[in-house]
C-alpha cells in the first residue's frame, strides 16, 4: 500500500514539475523594457511561444487583452480554448503593483489565495512583438521560470522570433525551453 502511495505522489509531482522550467539558483537579474508605456501596450496580444507551464496545459488559441480601466487599474484578460473539448476558458486579473523605478516590472495575482506573480515586460515594440518573463525564487536554491513571446497577430515571422531568442539567450535565458502555441482554428 505504501509503495502505491509513493508511486502516485511521485507521478503527480513529476507531471507538475515536467510542465515547468526549473533551474538551480535564484532568479537572474534581467533588464526590462526601459520607459515602458502601458498605454501603447494595451490591446490584444497572441501567445506565439512560451515556456511550458501547468496552468496553460491543453489550451490553444491563447491570447491576452490588456486594458487600463477608468480607475487607472491595468488589467489582463487571458482567453483560450481547451483543445480537447473546444470550450472557451477565460480569466481576468488586475495588476496590483507596478515598480516605481522600472514600470515594466509588475505583479499580478490570479486569486486572492495565491502569491503574487512577477510580470516583467522584457522587450516590446508595441506593434509586432512583446517578451514577458516571470521568475519565482525558492530560497535562492531553485527558481521556476515562465516566459512568453507575444505578437499582435496569431503568427509571427520566424526571423523576428529568432532575433528575440538571440536577445533572450544573451540575457541568460535558455530559449530551447520555448514551445510553440497552437493558434490554428481560432475564432476572433
Query: Quick one: pLDDT at residue 111?
Result: 67
Is residue 186 domain-resident?
no
pLDDT over threshold 60, residue 6: no
What rounded mean pLDDT belongs to the chain? 84
Query: Is 187 domain-assigned?
Result: no
Q: How confident is the model at residue 8 (pLDDT cuts 50, 70, 90)?
A: very low
pTM exceeding the 0.95 threshold for the entire prediction? no
Q: Is the dihedral of CA 57, 61, 67, 69 positive or negative?
A: negative
User: For residue 20, what pLDDT is reported?
Assistant: 61
Whether residue 5 has pLDDT greater than 50: no
Inside any domain, residue 169: yes
Number of independent structural domains in the chain = 1
CATH number, position 162? 2.40.128.20
Amino acid at each position: 500500500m505504501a509503495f502505491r502511495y509513493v508511486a502516485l505522489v511521485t507521478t503527480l509531482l513529476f507531471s507538475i514539475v515536467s510542465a515547468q522550467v526549473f533551474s538551480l539558483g535564484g532568479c537572474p537579474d534581467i533588464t526590462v523594457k526601459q520607459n515602458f508605456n502601458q498605454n501603447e501596450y494595451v490591446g490584444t496580444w497572441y501567445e506565439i511561444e512560451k515556456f511550458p507551464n501547468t496552468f496553460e496545459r491543453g489550451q490553444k488559441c491563447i491570447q491576452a487583452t490588456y486594458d487600463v480601466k477608468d480607475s487607472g487599474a491595468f488589467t489582463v484578460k487571458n482567453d483560450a480554448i481547451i483543445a480537447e473539448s473546444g470550450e472557451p476558458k477565460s480569466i481576468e486579473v488586475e495588476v496590483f503593483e507596478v515598480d516605481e523605478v522600472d514600470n515594466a516590472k509588475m505583479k499580478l495575482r490570479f486569486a486572492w489565495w495565491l502569491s503574487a506573480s512577477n510580470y516583467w515586460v522584457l522587450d516590446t515594440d508595441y506593434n509586432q512583438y512583446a517578451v514577458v518573463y516571470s521568475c519565482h525564487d525558492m530560497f535562492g536554491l531553485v527558481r521556476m521560470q515562465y516566459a512568453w513571446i507575444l505578437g499582435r497577430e496569431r503568427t509571427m515571422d520566424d526571423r523576428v522570433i529568432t532575433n528575440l531568442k538571440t536577445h533572450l539567450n544573451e540575457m541568460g535565458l535558455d530559449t530551447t525551453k520555448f514551445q510553440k502555441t497552437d493558434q490554428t482554428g481560432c475564432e476572433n
